[in-house]
């Protein structure tokens, strides 16, 4: 009986994989996983067995394999993830781990004794999130390595990204998974080798596109969903059910289970969108659908098509809030649906952002560990564009008559107001950012300089850059240098030599440099051109009546300074008292520049960057100068403050 | 009361306005605030923004404390005016009455604030805390909390009536004993409970509606031209005067209700 059961289990993946999503693969599908598992809600474990395969696409034999064992980040307080104190278990049951109970290769070699944990990023001997296996039989070029693994994954609590809380489960990074074997030249790499990073507080995604056949058995009361499509659901007749999913051409597979989930569905073009949410979130389900569809439409039109026929949006309940704001390409988690006032588009912003990762990391599978800006930063830039275009007439965060904030300004503020913004460059690996600057640098600064780039080269060219980036690199692993190469090609093609031979000068400053940008309009002067009079060499120069005509002409000077280290071409709009306006262009390289005008008109005001295109400028207040400043807003705010105080006093006094 | 309050607040507001203007100096960036405060500018203001916010909140707190004392002082004169001098009170007599009643009125005001604080903690804080604990961090169910808010509002006239009856008793008797006055206040309320309760409830509801309406008007009005801003200032001050009259109306009504009661 056991033999039949074993044979049945062996044949299951093959039976499942008979059903496919795409006729033609979207990616190379270098790796694949057939997983059979059981969720035990008493022990909070997922146990089972899996067959994982990896194809050696290089032209050399490979002697080892490297696997992510990311749940081990929760196995001790000395892992690189937990050692900074950002996570502690909820009692002794809160620890998490992934344990390999047995592992054999396709030649039936037992590999258990060939395993060792390594820490390529920080040498932390207590970190057990990367496993290296020395293979007894090298994998020859073109050959496939198959590993049969029996594993046990204990889920952590409280949830950070993955784990459980009571009967809520969000299960990500839960099985042994291959790193990426990079060949020489790929992402500017010099020699072949595995790229497999430890699990860090700020990064977790860099994997190959895979095919997943996943079968999970669990109690019937759980409502579940995953990043795959549902192939089959079977009631086992013993209060358990078995769910079978298949996913293709995604870099990670996550799933969630909770008895309290409410499910809503919507279709956008060919995409079936499923929303799993709490009772409270269900009441505002349309907001989540609208946000997801806004993002789908925007990115589909400006970057490239969303290729999968399915998308799962999870809005976790409060008990599972630690799982909020995560991305697994065809499944992502939002946050706070129904929990915040409707004028705040916080939940919608999270939905747009996390969906955006389907493109920036999902379709364009950059390395989040080594180049987080290319993942989170590029995605934040698109999130801000989408949110500001979709909500509040450009003020996507909130737009009240007395208070407003755009999503892009929200990101810009977090950059310009951070005192450590010059402490590092923007190209560091995620775990190397000093002084808590990771979020500000990876998310905010990148988005700010991408908005600035858009301001320089125009929105149309910017969109074309991303279309080309998608065309060249979809379902591959681009690096930052690859992205810059796309920028250089598209800008050269569309704008010629307007910005020089290439745009490297820009990236050298904003990405690989740590200077700030601050242009300052230091003042305006209007001097009358005087008739010539005075004492020269002791002789008095006599007053000539005809010279009085000179008193009606002016020498006007607009003085500009470059207070920051970043040099960008800037525009200056100069306004004269007769209504004339002139737009000056300056290469922005010198420390100062004076624009001079002679004539009967006087300069009344001038503005650097008149259309607020240089988001990088850390102080926009000093970008303009007027002879007649208007303080009506200050008067209005003072009046409101006075009335507010009057009412406060009258209310608080009985 | 109005003019003193206005001058007092201006002592804080005008320096704040000057600081705000000095941040912008000759810049045109303030024009971005013409349609309401663009929070994106806060970052550009740098440390000045934090300093302004800090000054505004500290100044506001001091103003509330000073205002509390000032209004308590004037309440002394008002209750005398509505108790023993219906025909009118000369300014000197008004100020004298305010001065005489100040200490016991302040004690009563502080005691009532304390009572209302505990009452609020009991009716709103406790249920909200329990719901927060039960739902493990979730925001309390709004529907259920509304019931507690209603209960809180319905209970409030009781405390306001006691405060007003107590102060009226001091104005009428000339006593300086705050605790005895509170006792008299409770007894007076007990003798004419329903009439007092519903009268104060109606006045309270009208006050709440007026405050909410005027605050809504102030918050959502965004005048942009000089003349409109001046008219806006006049409108807010007119609204505040109405608010002062409504407060005095409650004092007068309760004082009138207490007339003839032996407590």
Q: What's the mean per-residue pLDDT of chain A?
A: 93
Reference A560, options A525, A527, A535; nearest CA is: A525
CATH class of A1-258: mainly beta
Q: Encode pLDDT of A333-357 as tens digits.
A: 999 888 888 899 999 999 999 999 9
Core vs surface per residue A209-226: b (16+ CB within 10 A) or e: bbbbbbbbbbbeebebbb
> Does residue B33 sit within a domain?
no
In this structure, the strands spanning A255-258 and A223-226 are antiparallel
ipTM for the predicted complex comes to 0.93
Which of A626, A634, A654 comes nearest B26 by C-beta? A626
Q: Encode pLDDT of A291-327 as tens digits.
A: 999 999 999 999 999 999 999 999 999 899 999 999 9
Give the residue on A whose Cα is nearest the Cα of B132. Answer: A318
Quickly state the pLDDT bin for B110 (edges 50, 70, 90).
very high
pLDDT above 90 covers a percentage of chain B that reads: 73
pLDDT of residue B90: 85
Core vs surface per residue B35-45: b (16+ CB within 10 A) or e: ebbbbbbbbbb
In chain B, residues with a C-beta closer than 8 Å to the C-beta of A620 are 29, 41, 44
What are residue A333's phi and psi, to 5 degrees?
A: -115, 135
Q: Which DSSP symbol is given to A223?
A: E
Which of A319, A404, A652 comes nearest B39 by C-beta? A404
Q: Encode pLDDT of A164-173 as tens digits.
A: 999 999 999 9
pLDDT of residue A532: 65
* Cβ-defined contact of A406 to B34 (cutoff 8 Å): no
pLDDT of residue A16: 46
* Cβ-defined contact of A643 to B240 (cutoff 8 Å): yes
B138 pLDDT exceeds 60?
no
For residue A581, give the H/E element and its range: strand A581-586
In chain B, residues with a C-beta closer than 8 Å to the C-beta of A321 are 137
Helix (H, G, I), strand (E, B) or coil at A541: strand
HSE-CB at B253 with a 13 A cutoff on CA atoms is 20
Number of folded domains that form chain B: 1
Neighbour-count burial of A180, counting CB atoms closer than 10 A to its CB (0-12 exposed, 13-18 middle, 19+ buried): buried
Average pLDDT, stretch B128-132?
A: 83
How many CB contacts within 8 angstroms connect chain A with chain B?
200
Q: Residue ranges per domain, chain A?
A: 1-258, 407-510, 519-629
> Does residue B19 sit within a domain?
no
Instruction: State the Cα–Cα distance between residues A599 and B129, nearest whole angstrom.
Output: 72
Q: Encode pLDDT of A250-294 as tens digits.
A: 999 999 999 999 999 999 999 999 999 999 899 999 999 999 999
A466 pLDDT exceeds 60?
yes
The Cα diameter of chain B in Å comes to: 68
- CB < 8 Å from B in window 517-546 of A: 523
**Secondary-structure breakdown of chain B: helix, strand, coil percentages, each rounded to the nearest 5:** 85, 0, 15
Neighbour-count burial of A300, counting CB atoms closer than 10 A to its CB (0-12 exposed, 13-18 middle, 19+ buried): middle
pLDDT of residue B262: 65
> Does residue B35 sit within a domain?
no
Q: Encode pLDDT of A19-62 as tens digits.
A: 788 999 999 999 999 999 999 999 999 999 999 999 999 999 99
Quickly state the pLDDT bin for B109 (edges 50, 70, 90).
very high
In chain A, residues with a C-beta closer than 8 Å to the C-beta of B33 are 633, 637
What are residue A378's phi and psi, to 5 degrees?
A: -60, -40
Answer yes or no: are the C-beta atoms of A629 and B28 closer than 8 Å: yes
> Does residue B253 sit within a domain?
yes
Reference A299, options A491, A495, A469, A453; nearest CA is: A469
pLDDT of residue A552: 76
A470 part of contact set with chain B, CB < 8 Å: no
Q: Which residues contact B13 (CB under 8 A, 6 or more apart)?
A: A638, A641, A642, A645, B59
* Cβ-defined contact of B240 to A646 (cutoff 8 Å): yes
Q: Encode pLDDT of B206-236 as tens digits.
A: 999 999 999 999 988 989 888 999 999 999 9
Average pLDDT, stretch A129-138?
A: 97
User: What single string gives the DSSP state of each residue in A450-515?
Assistant: HHHHHHHH-HHHHHHHHHHHHHHHTTB---HHHHHHHHHHHHHHHHTTTT-S-SHHHHHHHTS---
Domain of B77? Answer: 61-258
Reference A135, options A116, A111, A119; nearest CA is: A111
Q: What's the mean per-residue pLDDT of chain B?
A: 90
Distance from CA of B28 to the nearest CA of A (A): 6
pLDDT above 90 covers a percentage of chain A that reads: 88
* Cβ-defined contact of A404 to B27 (cutoff 8 Å): no
Instruction: State the Cα–Cα distance between residues A312 and A576, nearest whole angstrom.
Output: 57
Instruction: State the Cα–Cα distance between residues A653 and A8, nearest whole angstrom.
Output: 79
A465 pLDDT exceeds 70?
yes
A96 pLDDT exceeds 80?
yes
Which of A621, A651, A654 comes nearest B44 by C-beta? A621
A653 part of contact set with chain B, CB < 8 Å: yes
* Cβ-defined contact of A643 to B218 (cutoff 8 Å): yes
* Cβ-defined contact of A654 to B5 (cutoff 8 Å): no
Which of A205-219, B43-57, B242-256 ranks highest by mean pLDDT?
A205-219
Average pLDDT, stretch B158-178?
A: 93
Which residue in this structure is represented by tokens 């033999």?
A: A3
* Cβ-defined contact of A635 to B17 (cutoff 8 Å): yes
Yes or no: is domain A519-629 CATH 2.40.30? Answer: no
pLDDT of residue B36: 83
Q: Check if A1-258 and A519-629 are the same fold.
A: yes
Dihedral angle at the C-alpha atoms of A448, A451, A453, A456, nearest 10 degrees?
Answer: -130
A646 part of contact set with chain B, CB < 8 Å: yes
Instruction: State the Cα–Cα distance between residues B164 and B181, nearest whole angstrom.
Output: 10
């Amino acid at each position: 009986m056991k033999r039949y059961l074993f044979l049945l289990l062996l044949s299951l993946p093959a039976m499942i994989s008979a059903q496919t999503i795409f006729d033609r693969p979207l990616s190379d599908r270098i790796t694949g996983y057939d997983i059979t598992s059981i969720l035990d809600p008493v022990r909070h474990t997922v146990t089972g067995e899996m067959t994982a395969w990896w194809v050696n696409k290089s032209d050399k034999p490979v002697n080892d394999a490297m696997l992510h064992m990311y749940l081990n980040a929760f196995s001790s307080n000395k892992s690189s993830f937990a050692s900074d104190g950002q996570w502690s278990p909820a009692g002794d049951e809160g620890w998490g781990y992934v344990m390999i109970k047995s592992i054999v290769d396709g030649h039936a070699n037992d590999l258990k004794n060939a395993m060792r944990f390594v820490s390529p990023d920080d040498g932390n001997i207590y970190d057990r999130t990367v496993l290296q296996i020395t293979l007894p039989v090298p994998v020859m070029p073109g050959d496939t390595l198959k590993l049969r693994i029996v594993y046990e994954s204990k889920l952590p609590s409280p949830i950070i990204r993955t784990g459980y809380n009571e009967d809520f489960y969000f299960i990500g990074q839960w099985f042994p998974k291959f790193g990426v074997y990079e060949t020489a030249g790929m992402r500017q790499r010099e020699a072949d080798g595995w790229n497999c990073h430890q699990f860090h507080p700020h990064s977790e995604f860099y994997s190959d596109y895979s095919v997943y056949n996943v079968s999970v058995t669990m109690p019937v009361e759980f409502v579940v969903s995953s990043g795959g499509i549902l192939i089959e659901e079977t009631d086992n007749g013993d209060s358990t059910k078995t769910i079978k999913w298949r996913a293709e051409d995604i870099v990670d597979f996550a799933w969630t289970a909770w008895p309290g989930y409410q499910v809503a569905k919507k279709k956008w073009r060919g995409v079936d969108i499923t929303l799993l949410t709490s009772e409270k979130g269900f009441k505002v389900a349309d907001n989540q659908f609208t946000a997801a569809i806004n993002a789908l439409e925007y990115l589909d039109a400006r970057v490239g098509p969303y290729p999968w026929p399915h998308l799962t949006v999870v809005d976790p309940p409060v008990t599972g809030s630690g799982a909020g704001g995560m991305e697994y390409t065809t499944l992502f988690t939002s946050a706070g649906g129904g929990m915040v006032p409707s004028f705040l588009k916080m939940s919608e912003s999270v939905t747009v952002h996390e969906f955006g990762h389907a493109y920036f990391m999902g379709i364009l599978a950059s390395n989040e560990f080594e180049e987080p800006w290319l993942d989170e930063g590029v995605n934040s830039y698109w999130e801000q564009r989408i949110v500001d275009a979709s909500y509040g007439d450009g003020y996507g965060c909130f737009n009240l008559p007395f208070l407003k904030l755009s999503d892009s300004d929200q990101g810009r503020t977090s950059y310009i107001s951070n005192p450590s913004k010059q402490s590092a460059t923007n190209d560091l690996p995620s775990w190397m950012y000093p002084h808590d600057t990771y979020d500000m640098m990876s998310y905010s600064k990148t988005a700010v300089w991408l908005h600035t780039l858009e301001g320089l080269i125009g929105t149309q060219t910017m969109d074309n850059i991303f279309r080309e980036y998608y065309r060249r690199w979809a379902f591959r692993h681009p690096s930052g240098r690859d992205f810059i190469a796309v920028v250089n090609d598209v800008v050269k093609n569309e704008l010629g030599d307007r910005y020089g031979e290439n745009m490297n000068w820009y990236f050298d400053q904003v990405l690989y440099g740590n200077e700030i940008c601050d242009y300052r309009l230091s003042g305006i002067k209007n001097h009358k051109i005087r008739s010539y009079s005075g004492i020269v060499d002791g002789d008095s120069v006599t007053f000539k009546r005809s010279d009085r005509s000179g008193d009606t002409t002016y020498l006007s000077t607009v003085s500009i300074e470059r207070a920051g280290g970043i040099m960008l071409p800037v525009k200056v709009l100069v306004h004269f008292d007769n209504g004339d306006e002139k737009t000056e262009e300056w290469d922005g390289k010198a420390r100062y520049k004076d624009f001079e005008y002679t004539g009967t008109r006087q300069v009344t005001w001038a503005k650097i960057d008149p259309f607020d295109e240089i988001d990088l400028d850390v102080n926009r207040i000093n970008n303009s100068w007027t002879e007649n400043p208007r303080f009506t807003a200050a008067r209005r705010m003072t009046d409101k403050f006075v009335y507010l105080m009057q009412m406060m006093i009258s209310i608080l006094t009985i | 009361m109005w003019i003193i309050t206005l001058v007092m607040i201006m002592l804080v507001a005008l320096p704040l306005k000057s600081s705000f203007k000095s941040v912008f100096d000759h810049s045109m960036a303030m024009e971005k605030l013409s349609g309401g405060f663009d929070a994106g500018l806060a970052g550009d203001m740098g440390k000045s923004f934090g300093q302004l916010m800090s000054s505004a909140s500290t100044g506001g707190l001091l103003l509330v404390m000073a205002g509390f004392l000032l209004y308590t002082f004037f309440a002394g004169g008002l209750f005398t005016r509505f108790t023993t001098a219906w025909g009118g009170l000369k300014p000197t007599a008004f100020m004298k009455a305010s001065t005489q009643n100040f200490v016991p009125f302040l004690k009563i005001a502080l005691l009532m604030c304390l009572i209302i604080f505990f009452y609020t903690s009991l009716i709103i804080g406790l249920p909200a805390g329990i719901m927060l604990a039960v739902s493990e961090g979730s925001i309390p169910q709004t529907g259920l909390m509304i019931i507690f808010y209603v209960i809180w509002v319905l209970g409030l006239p009781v405390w306001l009536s006691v405060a007003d009856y107590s102060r009226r008793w001091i104005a009428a008797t000339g006593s300086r004993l705050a605790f005895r006055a509170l006792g008299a206040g409770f007894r007076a309320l007990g003798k004419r409970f329903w009439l007092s309760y519903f009268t104060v409830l109606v006045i309270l509801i009208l006050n709440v509606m007026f405050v909410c309406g005027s605050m809504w008007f102030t918050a959502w009005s965004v005048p942009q031209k000089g003349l409109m801003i001046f008219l806006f200032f006049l409108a807010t001050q007119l609204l505040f005067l109405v608010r002062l009259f409504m407060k005095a109306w409650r004092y007068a009504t309760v004082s009138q209700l207490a007339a003839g009661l032996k407590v």
